[in-house]
């Protein structure tokens, strides 16, 4: 086992109450209340004001903690007991407190991954530096080393695995300059965990620079020693070798995109080239170039991820790329800066995918890119995060420019005579010189969701999503948390800490170093969450199935539906840095279920597929997602029963077989279907109960209406009888007539959709319906469309429905057709006055019966109001 040589400084006593992560977060110890006063799905919330170290790198330790790493710079917070700036910290997810850890070597632009035993490895970085990012010579005197940092370009830092529930003091962090090292210097190397639990490291540069080449590019292999085209393993498997793909993609291959394929070979993409690589003999199967020669690796930094591996896609990997940047080879520039004005040039909005494997797990040498759709806006430095419902979200980034920074002054010349016609050095009105350094502008504040289960071309959406108030540009990060939210942090487009950047100067905005940590809450976050019992602590490759249970309270009357719409997701959140999550991967396990008579559900779940390459060993989160709503993720080990132990391992599948699942069993008692709000529709039991109650309620209402109608008729007769039927009021008749607005109707214009008639006949008609007998006689149903006039086939086919005729053509007083038209129009006016007047004074609002050639007024005062 790899041993650690130092422990975390300043342990935290776990005295704060631990809140369930499926609910709102606790009050932040960083000085901002994180208790939520409202449910805010799709929104951002700042949970920590000061992460101590700006979050250039993020990784999940377990269910309780996240580590944060920064480059060497002059952060305000210090390592306890010293004047050394904090370059690392640990976030407690239970109370949002942040505590500093001691970092010795410069982790600037390092890579990271977990070994198969669960240990975190953070590899590479940059040389030791002084104030302002100035490099320090290896033999520099102490006076030239204000930070006391060490060269990190060959460093291998180790964080030992620790189980969930352990406190901060249990986490060991080894960053010993004389400890584990790589065979060569690597700044921005690629990194991927292999099936044996080891890691492979490839490429990078040997020192700082915008891209890792000179221009003209006459030395594609090493750029005069500035780039590194080799690869090696940790733990070591022998002498490092040269990778020809690194030479082919010279200049645009830092942080190459790498994904282990089912075949055991490696998918790699850099510059605009794509290949399937066999590391054993450095052989390649080249695939098509990226459409439009769009660059997706740093500094173009497109959002990139492997889509979830599911039984539906037969665990066939598809790699998706969204955004990035496209320009000519010459304009990409060199170590210094690009040769185009990055601050004013739009990024790409293209989303393209490729499937480099066949469904049987073999490589697909004929794989082609598919252009899927466009992002809502151009985006560079966007970052894909897997969600436990099978979707992915893009956060962070900018619409213009690229990642990286540099100090470029207009008119400056390169060694080959090139003159920059743009600048990112400005002078303020008070004479202050401002180095914006950033190569990007116009932040993208709103996330974008990608749903692979939707039809291609309709997979991207941001409906209902809020915007972050914080620009997340170069050196921003994001990470899936066990509660199903997305942690967002970082952004520092400067060589050292900058806290007083002006908002805008010369039309260009300058951005500060950022320490706030936010959570973005997916749409499911505030819904009632599943709480499965019996989930395992580890999942092996092949062998036996495992079981867990869901309670009847959550499953309810729709247990059959919910069990059928369950996903068991295993997700590795990955190492987050520079718009990518190395080794991020999501896989859905097959399952079956039994809905028990008491409403509980028992699930049987397959182990990990026997092909270890699909999901290399190490730690992951296990989620149970039911009807789109996930449980809290449980920290589990994949491939072995517990964390720790030597690597590489021999991850032979248990018994070498994949078991079979029993058939799922539903239960006729639980056939309800939830509606879109999550409420359940009527199951058999509910229907019976509700029907009995509804029948009793309807009977009471009818009895009440009968009594009310009798009282109304008595009042009308006492006042002199009914008014005219659509014409003038009868002699002596009261203005309170049969067309009274609230004669049993409801809603504007009396839209009576499939309403059964209680009495059918022409006016005046017997029974309780009064003037509505006219409507009943024509069975008004509005059946032909949303804008259909009030017309339906009348009971008497020889008589046309009055509402399909002009009022002036309908007969005079006593014609029940006129009465129908009049009540229809009266309903319009009555609704208007009823909704817009204060009726408490017994008011004077009137509406008009337009069924005859002259208006008949019907008072809507104290008599007519219901």
Give CA–CA dist 571/619, Å, rounded.
9
**Tens-digit pLDDT profile for residues 796-819:** 444 433 333 333 443 433 333 333
- φ and ψ at 144, to 5 degrees? -95, 5
In the predicted model, what is the mean pLDDT of the chain?
Answer: 80
Helical segments of 645-683, H only: none
**Tens-digit pLDDT profile for residues 289-333:** 999 999 999 999 999 999 999 999 999 999 999 999 999 999 999
Give CA–CA dist 750/735, Å, rounded.
21
Give mean pLDDT, residues 388-410.
Answer: 95
Give CA–CA dist 440/858, Å, rounded.
69
Give mean pLDDT, residues 286-290.
Answer: 98
- DSSP string over 150-193: B--TTBEEEE----TT--GGG--EE--TTSSB-SS--BS-EEEE
Ranges of each domain in the chain: 538-680, 682-716, 719-859
Query: The tokens of 471 are what?
Result: 């620009």
**Tens-digit pLDDT profile for residues 768-797:** 333 333 333 333 333 344 444 333 333 344
Does the domain made of 538-680 have the CATH classification 2.40.30.110?
no
Of 280-289, 558-567, 656-665, the least confident: 656-665
Reported confidence tier of residue 704, pLDDT bands at 50, 70, 90: low
Tell me: pLDDT of 49 over 90.
yes
Give CA–CA dist 713/309, Å, rounded.
72
**Tens-digit pLDDT profile for residues 670-701:** 999 987 555 665 444 454 445 545 655 676 66
**Tens-digit pLDDT profile for residues 155-206:** 999 999 988 887 777 788 999 887 899 999 999 999 999 999 999 999 999 9
Convert 613-644 to b/e letters by CB count within 10 Å (16 or more is b). Answer: bbbbbbbbbbbbbbbbbbbbbbbbbbbbeebe
């Amino acid at each position: 086992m790899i041993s650690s040589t130092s422990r975390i400084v300043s342990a935290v006593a776990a005295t704060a109450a631990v809140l369930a992560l499926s609910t709102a977060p606790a009050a932040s110890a960083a000085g901002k209340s994180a208790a939520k006063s409202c449910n805010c799905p799709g929104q951002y919330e700042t949970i920590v004001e000061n992460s101590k170290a700006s979050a250039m790198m993020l990784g999940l330790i377990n269910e309780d903690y996240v580590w944060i790493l920064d480059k060497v710079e002059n952060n305000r917070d210090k390592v306890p007991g010293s004047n050394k700036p904090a370059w690392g910290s640990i976030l407690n997810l239970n109370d949002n407190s942040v505590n500093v850890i001691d970092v010795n070597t410069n982790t600037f632009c390092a890579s990271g991954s977990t070994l198969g035993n669960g240990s975190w490895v953070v590899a590479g970085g940059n040389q030791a530096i002084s104030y302002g990012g100035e490099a320090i010579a290896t033999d520099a005197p102490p006076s030239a080393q204000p930070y006391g940092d060490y060269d990190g370009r060959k460093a291998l830092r180790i964080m030992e695995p620790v189980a969930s529930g352990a406190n901060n003091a249990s986490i060991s962090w080894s960053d010993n300059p004389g400890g584990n090292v790589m065979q060569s210097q690597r700044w921005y190397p690629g990194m991927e965990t292999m099936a044996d639990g080891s890691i492979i490291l490839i490429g990078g540069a040997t020192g700082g620079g915008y891209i890792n080449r000179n221009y003209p590019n006459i030395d594609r292999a090493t750029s005069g020693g500035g780039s590194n085209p080799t690869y090696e393993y940790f733990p070591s498997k022998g002498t490092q070798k040269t990778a020809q793909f690194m030479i082919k993609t010279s200049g645009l291959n830092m942080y190459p995109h790498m994904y282990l394929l089912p075949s055991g070979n490696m998918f790699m993409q850099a510059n605009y080239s794509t290949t399937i690589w066999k590391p054993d003999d450095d052989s390649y199967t080249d695939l098509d170039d990226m459409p439009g020669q769009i660059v997706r690796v740093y500094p173009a930094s497109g959002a990139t991820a492997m889509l979830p591996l599911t039984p539906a896609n037969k665990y066939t990997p598809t790699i998706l790329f969204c955004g990035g940047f496209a320009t000519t080879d010459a304009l990409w520039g060199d170590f210094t800066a690009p040769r185009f004005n990055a601050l004013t040039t739009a990024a790409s909005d293209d989303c393209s995918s490729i499937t480099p494997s066949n469904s049987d797990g073999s490589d697909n040498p004929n794989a082609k890119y598919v252009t899927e759709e466009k992002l809502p806006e151009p985006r560079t430095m966007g970052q894909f995060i897997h969600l436990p419902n099978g979707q992915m979200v893009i956060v962070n980034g900018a619409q213009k420019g690229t990642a990286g920074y540099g100090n470029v002054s207009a008119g400056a010349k390169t060694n080959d005579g090139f003159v920059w016609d743009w600048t990112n050095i400005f002078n303020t009105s008070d004479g202050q010189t401002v180095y914006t350094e950033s190569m990007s502008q116009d932040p993208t504040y709103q996330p974008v969701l990608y749903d692979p289960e939707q039809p291609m071309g309709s997979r991207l959406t941001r409906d209902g999503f809020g915007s972050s108030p914080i620009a997340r540009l170069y050196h921003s990060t994001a990470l899936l948390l066990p509660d199903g939210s997305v942690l967002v942090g970082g952004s520092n487009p400067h060589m050292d800490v900058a806290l007083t950047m002006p908002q805008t100067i010369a039309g260009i905005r300058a951005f500060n170093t950022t320490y706030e940590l936010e959570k973005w809450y997916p749409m499911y976050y505030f819904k009632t969450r599943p709480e499965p019992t019996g989930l395992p602590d580890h999942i092996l490759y092949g062998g036996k199935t495992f079981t867990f249970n869901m309670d009847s309270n959550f499953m309810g009357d729709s247990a059959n539906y919910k069990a059928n719409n369950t996903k068991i997701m295993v997700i590795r959140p990955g190492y987050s840095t520079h718009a990518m999550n190395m080794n991020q991967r999501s896989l859905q396990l097959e399952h079956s279920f039994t809905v028990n008579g008491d409403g509980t559900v028992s699930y049987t779940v397959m182990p990990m597929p026997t092909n270890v390459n699909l999901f290399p060993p190490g730690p992951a989160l296990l989620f149970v997602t039911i009807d789109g709503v996930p449980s809290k993720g449980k920290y589990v080990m994949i491939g072995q029963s517990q964390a720790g132990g030597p690597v590489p391992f021999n991850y032979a599948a248990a018994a070498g077989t994949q078991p079979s699942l029993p058939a799922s069993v539903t239960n006729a008692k639980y056939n309800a279907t939830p509606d879109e709000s999550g409420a359940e529709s009527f199951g058999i039991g509910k229907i019976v109960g509700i029907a009995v109650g509804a029948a009793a309620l309807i009977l009471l209402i009818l009895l009440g209406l009968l009594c009310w109608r009798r009282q109304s008729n008595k009042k009308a007769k006492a006042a002199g009888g009914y008014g005219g039927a659509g014409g003038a009021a009868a002699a002596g008749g009261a203005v309170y007539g049969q067309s009274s607005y609230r004669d049993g109707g409801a809603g504007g214009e009396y839209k009576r959709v499939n309403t059964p008639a209680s009495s059918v006949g022409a006016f005046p008609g017997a029974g309780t319906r009064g003037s509505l007998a006219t409507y009943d006689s024509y069975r008004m149903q509005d059946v032909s469309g949303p804008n259909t006039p009030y017309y339906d086939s009348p009971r008497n086919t020889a008589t046309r429905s009055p509402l399909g005729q002009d009022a002036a053509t309908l007969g005079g007083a006593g014609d029940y057709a006129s009465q129908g038209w009049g009540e229809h129009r009266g309903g319009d006016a009555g609704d208007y006055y009823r909704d817009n007047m204060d009726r408490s004074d017994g008011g004077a609002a009137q509406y008009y019966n337009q069924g005859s050639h002259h208006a008949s007024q019907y008072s809507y005062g104290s008599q007519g109001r219901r």
